[in-house]
Amino acid sequence: MWIKNRPPEPVSAATFWRVAVPSPLHRYFDYLAPIGAAAAPRPGVRVRVPFGRRHVVGLLVDLATATDVPAARLRRVRDVLDGEPVVPAELLSFARWAATYYRHPPGDALTGLLPKALREGRASASSTESGWRLTPEGRVASPDPRARRQAELLQLMAAHPAGASAADLAATGEGWRAPLKRLLERDWVESVELAPAAPIRREPEPGPPLTAAQNEAVEALRAKADSFSAFLLDGVTGSGKTEVYLAAVADVLAAGKQALVLAPEIALGPQLVERFERRLGTSVSAYHSGLADGERERVWRAARDGDAGVIIGTRSAIFLPLARPGLIVCDEEHDASYKQQDGFRYSARDLAMVRAQRLDIPVILGSATPSLESLHNVNRGRYQRLRLPERTNAAAHPPFRIVDVRSQPVQGGLSARLLAAVATHLEAGGQTLLFLNRRGFAPVLRCHDCGAIAECRRCDARMTVHRRRGRLICHHCGAERPAPNQCEHCGSPELAPLGQGTERLEDTLRERFPSAGIVRIDRDSTRRKGAMENLLDDVRSGRGHILIGTQMVAKGHDFPNLTLVGIIDADQGLYGVDFRAAERMAQLIVQVSGRAGRAEKPGEVIIQTHHPEHPLLAQIAGGDYGSFAEAALSERHAAALPPFTHLALIRAEAAKPEAPQDFLDEVRAMAEQQKQGGLEILGPAPAPMLRRQGRYRFQLLLQADSRGNLQNLLAALLPEIELLKDARRVRWSIDVDPLEMF
């Protein structure tokens, strides 16, 4: 064996390169330095390493003096891809912390935060972007009229004499690479390096004079601008929270630092970015999953190199490198979209707190309906609460009316009371928003003759009828099939869609108010790019009189002429399986109703329910989210639920029910051995929806009285779980601080 004859390695102080490798394993991998390596690079550079039978791109995270990999199995780094770290030390260490806290495989978490090109091992550190422009031949060329896409691209490039970017080309529609290639082959087009877009610099547009409460908040922030402190900006909808953020961000820019603003998926529209640009007089970069890879990378680099002063992004923006960080804002902090629900299950809201602390900068969480977690932190003196108790326009909060729909005549889900109110507001020239958190036509299709209900073949769930598309769709796994004309069970043609969805609501309203403009906003109606903005424009312009929406309309949108809000079915949240159901429903109702009466016109909110006596509704109808939250907090305290305890959920699923059960039984037994005081283990139990996408799902809940206890248990448990034979027979995951309990 030639290995035996090899001279022994010279063992220096830092022999082993510890690398984050994209893999599902919960550890880093140690390598030997590449042959002929001079000085070891700094952590944060990318390396290409052998991994199994492949080579993969990883991130160097450490140089170690010892390894527990046996010498014979150690392999060498093949090459080093960067001279300087692509990931700054601060981000590297923060992301490592996060991967540990959320018990996610660190290689996956760390390489996952790189832009795609870097992750795939392509060149780094070029801040220019390549683009394409017309050659002299191209300028006079006349393409074959049948090559429509080529002609479109030529036209576009004619309008960009300095060069068009990939994003520009992509904006003309799908499938631009092939025609571009054709144009390059004919020498009508050549590639160029694009100059970076010139940053906007103009006079900031003045804002309204701040109210006393806004001023107080801004002053409180100024007093602690230079080090870590945590604020909860607790302001009712329309109280001017964004104005407070703008003032704080302007201060940060004036001090030569960067501000990172997190916003929920849905609220981060072009409008928010434009508002910030106008008011700050500077470029604002948006960062979200809708961006093309190249654009995402450009923002990533601009943030890292300090060229982006303000970045507004969705949850993944919490992992942006920042050259001169000065402030983190997390708007609508209660929003569930801050928690990633699969893969790396982090909470960007919670990480905002951790990162700000590590960076020693202030962090502002803002909401009209703060999460119970954040309110608890205010109560414990960890966050300073800044209140904006009133709307800026002096409009009182619209009164709530609870309508008991029991034994009432109901037309298409609408009570006579609500229909009359819609008519009254229409006549008075006001707009109506009807909120129903259920898309499609009807949630159930039942056979009148045999009673069979159309079910998903892969989930323990019913199929939703989507009449516009003529299909049955499972909202849990996405399975679809054509809507049948006959019962799938007995063949009877007497099929009845039961219950209300947004499509059906739309039909009912069109019939009842034929001359009214009706706009439906849900995931189906906004699927096409730009559709959401078009629909919102219809509402803003006044063409739409009645707006029907799911939770997509609950936040961030200002409809000045909206005077009536109807909550079609408040009961969804009252008796949910999840202990957070009530909190979510309260937040939704308050947020949705906050859309009414924003301008000078007074508003009205009507809530339909079968449980008018429910205390939750009474509290909300009292118009006081704060008192609801305090009551809910004491219930959580009594029940030893978060935020008073800390949870981790271990989920397992497989095609047969036995494997996940056996696996979790074993995990439970191991946890029992590690268990100390202050820990409870609950389960394994079937998930509330046992079968989903053809797989049986079970879960084990770990509950601890402190984060430390929970983390210790997970740290001890994880290496043992990975070794379990049964772990390979199931798909399993750990969710630390889970938001969804199934």
Which residues contribute to the site for Zn ion (CB under 5 A)?
447, 449-450, 452, 456, 458-459, 474, 476-477, 479, 487, 489-490, 492
Between 61 and 252, name the residue whose CB sits nearer to ligand ADP: 252
List Cβ neighbours of 383 (8 Å cut-off, separation of 6 or more).
230, 231, 232, 365, 374, 377
210 binds, among Zn ion, ligand ADP, none (CB under 5 to 8 A by kind): ligand ADP
270 binds, among Zn ion, ligand ADP, none (CB under 5 to 8 A by kind): none
Q: Is residue 712 a contact residue for ligand ADP (CB under 6 A)?
A: no
Which amino acid is residue 377, in one-letter code?
A: N
How many residues line the site for ligand ADP (CB under 6 A)? Answer: 14
Q: Is residue 367 a contact residue for ligand ADP (CB under 6 A)?
A: no
In angstroms, what is the minimal distance from the CB of 518 to ligand ADP? 26
In angstroms, what is the minimal distance from the CB of 549 to ligand ADP? 17
518-521 and 546-549 strand pairing:
parallel
* DSSP secondary structure, 373-388, as one string: HHHHHHHTTSSEEEEE
Find how far residue 550's CA is from the centre of its chain: 17
**And the tokens for 283?**
């470029």
* 3-state SS class at 120: coil
471-473 and 480-482 strand pairing:
antiparallel
Between 382 and 457, name the residue whose CB sits nearer to Zn ion: 457
523 binds, among ligand ADP, Zn ion, none (CB under 5 to 8 A by kind): none
End-to-end CA distance of the chain: 54
In angstroms, what is the minimal distance from the CB of 558 to ligand ADP? 6
Locate the DSSP E strands across 199-338: 230-235, 258-262, 284-287, 310-313, 325-331
In angstroms, what is the minimal distance from the CB of 379 to ligand ADP? 22
In angstroms, what is the minimal distance from the CB of 173 to ligand ADP? 34
151-190 mask for ligand ADP (x: CB under 6 A)? ----------------------------------------
Long-range contacts of 528-534 (CB under 8 A, 24+ apart): 532/269, 533/269, 533/270
389-408 mask for ligand ADP (x: CB under 6 A)? ---x----------------
199-238 mask for ligand ADP (x: CB under 6 A)? ---------xxxx--x--------------------x-xx
- Whether the CA torsion 620, 622, 625, 629 is positive or negative: it is negative
Locate the DSSP E strands across 550-678: 562-567, 604-609, 646-654
77 binds, among Zn ion, ligand ADP, none (CB under 5 to 8 A by kind): none
In angstroms, what is the minimal distance from the CB of 218 to ligand ADP? 11
In the list 240, 362, 370, 566, the residue contacting ligand ADP (rule: CB under 6 A) is 240
In angstroms, what is the minimal distance from the CB of 199 to ligand ADP? 25
| Radius of gyration from C-alpha coordinates of the chain | 28
- The answer to whether the CB of 258 falls within 8 A of the CB of 322 is yes
**And the tokens for 693?**
């996408």
Find how far residue 153's CA is from the centre of its chain: 34
Between 226 and 537, name the residue whose CB sits nearer to ligand ADP: 537
450 binds, among ligand ADP, Zn ion, none (CB under 5 to 8 A by kind): Zn ion
Locate the DSSP E strands across 162-290: 164-165, 189-194, 230-235, 258-262, 284-287
DSSP state of 695: E
CA pair distance 217, 237, nearest whole angstrom: 16
239 binds, among ligand ADP, Zn ion, none (CB under 5 to 8 A by kind): ligand ADP
In angstroms, what is the minimal distance from the CB of 568 to Zn ion? 24
In angstroms, what is the minimal distance from the CB of 472 to Zn ion? 10
Residues that bind ligand ADP (CB under 6 A): 208-211, 214, 235, 237-243, 392
